[in-house]
Amino acid sequence: MSSAVQSILRSDASPRGIYDVARIRKDFPILAQSIHGKPLVYLDNAATTQKPRAVIDCISKVYEHDYANVHRGVHTLSQRATELFEGAREKIRRFINARHSREIVFTRGTTEAINLVAQSYGRPHLRSGDEILITAMEHHSNIVPWQMLCEQTGAVLKVAPIDRTGSLLVEEFEALLSERTRLVSVAHMSNALGTVNPVELLIELAHRRGIPVLLDGAQAIPHMAVDVQALDCDFYAFSGHKLYGPSGIGVLYGKEQILSAMPPYQGGGDMIRRVTFEKTEYNELPYKFEAGTPAIVDAIALGAAIDYLQTLGMDAIAGHEQRLLNYAGERTTEIPGLRVIGQAQHKGAILSFTLEGIHPHDIGTIFDHLGIAVRAGHHCAMPVMDFFGVPATARASFGLYNTFEEVDALIDGIHQVIQVFR
């Protein structure tokens, strides 16, 4: 690509004042460091994101001033902690536009949220021969809980195929919706390929047949505005740590009507209304699904992360990341032997690739010496790797704080890897 084209792509892309990435980077203390003597280029955002000062400060502030157990004490600190904790739930409700905050269940993360649905919704509902439909691009956490459920119930796991670009074959998906399908569970966005699924359409197809749909939103939620009412999904699962919040906290959104009818996932404190040795009366939503002391401060800090994201605006973040992805995509075409894995038309900010004759693990190690952090491996999506006939890929995944200079560093790094291995 000519330098003129490059500069048009880049300057057009990053108009100062509209999305000031240099200023945004200052909000993330961890980014201002060197790795092996090179400035850190953090491109492993699909694995986890770095935290803004607002989140880090929130955690210390709560522990220093407002911490106690929630929903229990009459004392001031407990009331404060409860208010902050429930305040975070309300922020999350608004963020994904759920109808009620009782539809927001705190979990440890996406994985636990999916397991909750598998065990509390799936297990009582499914009979031998019933079917669960997923896609061929799922993360292991949207495969294994269903396999476990199938073993428990005799249900069958069906997998809708993808094409060579990494796009879901929607017609085949539709053909797999049968009279026995009891649940559809689909990634909103693929972690290994970046594919953004046409979830509105998939939900409509499933709903026409009365089948509920769970969206695994772990990857999508940091990259786009999500409106669960507009989507009309029945469940939406995501993790705090991929949304610039703490790890150990996540969310299961579920439609109230469905959640109400589900039995609890785990038993313990906080999920009960009244316990005798004969019988226990369960608490109301969402507490029915929140046994034990939750990750109180992490939930509050997830609320702080959402506040932070809203000062930037999800649409502005999405626009910036798309420009980075397009620029990176353009620049990779200049590299012989580079194969992009996942070229769906609708893609989030993930660039998965292989280099001819060079294993992704070696790319990862050499990158590290250049200060570049990427994921090298199967991305917990081994069936996807098998489909593309590769043992692993290198994956650069962009976040709201990445820059065009970092894309340049990535491309330069790839050239250096090739040189080392030549």
What percent of the chain is helix, strand and coil (3-state, nearest 5)? 45, 20, 35
Binding residues for other proteins, rule CB under 8 A, total 21
Per DSSP, the residues of 77-115 read HHHHHHHHHHHHHHHHHHHHT-S-GGGEEEESSHHHHHH
224 or 370: CB nearest other proteins? 370
Interface with other proteins in residues 266-295 (CB under 8 A): none
213 or 418: CB nearest other proteins? 418
72 or 359: CB nearest other proteins? 359
Interface with other proteins in residues 312-371 (CB under 8 A): 358-362, 365-366, 369-370
Tokens 């905050």 sit at which residue? 101
Query: Which residues lie across from 282 on neighbouring strands?
Result: 272
| 373-392 footprint of other proteins as x/- string (CB under 8 A) | ---xxx---x--x-----xx
385 or 407: CB nearest other proteins? 385
Instruction: Kindly state the smallest distance separating residue 309's Cβ from other proteins, in Å.
Output: 31
**How many C-alpha atoms does 113 have within 13 Å on its Cβ side?**
29
Instruction: Kindly state the smallest distance separating residue 44's Cβ from other proteins, in Å.
Output: 13
Contact by Cβ (8 Å): 145, 114: yes
Residue 7: CB atoms within 10 Å: 11
Report helix, strand or coil for 158: strand
Per DSSP, the residues of 290-328 read --S---HHHHHHHHHHHHHHHHH-HHHHHHHHHHHHHHH
Residue 139: CB atoms within 10 Å: 21
Instruction: Kindly state the smallest distance separating residue 363's Cβ from other proteins, in Å.
Output: 9
- Is residue 380 part of the annotated active site? The answer reads yes
Single out the catalytic residue among 58, 150, 233, 380: 380
37 or 210: CB nearest other proteins? 37
Q: Among candidates 87, 66, 88, which has minimal Cα distance to 77?
A: 66
20 or 412: CB nearest other proteins? 412
Interface with other proteins in residues 12-41 (CB under 8 A): 36
Amino acid letter, 44: D
Query: What values do phi and psi take at 350, rounded to 5?
Result: -130, 130
Instruction: Kindly state the smallest distance separating residue 388's Cβ from other proteins, in Å.
Output: 12
Instruction: Kindly state the smallest distance separating residue 422's Cβ from other proteins, in Å.
Output: 9
Interface with other proteins in residues 36-95 (CB under 8 A): 36
Instruction: Kindly state the smallest distance separating residue 321's Cβ from other proteins, in Å.
Output: 27
Residues identified as active-site: 380
Interface ranges with other proteins (CB under 8 A)? 36, 358-362, 365-366, 369-370, 376-378, 382, 385, 391-392, 416, 419-421
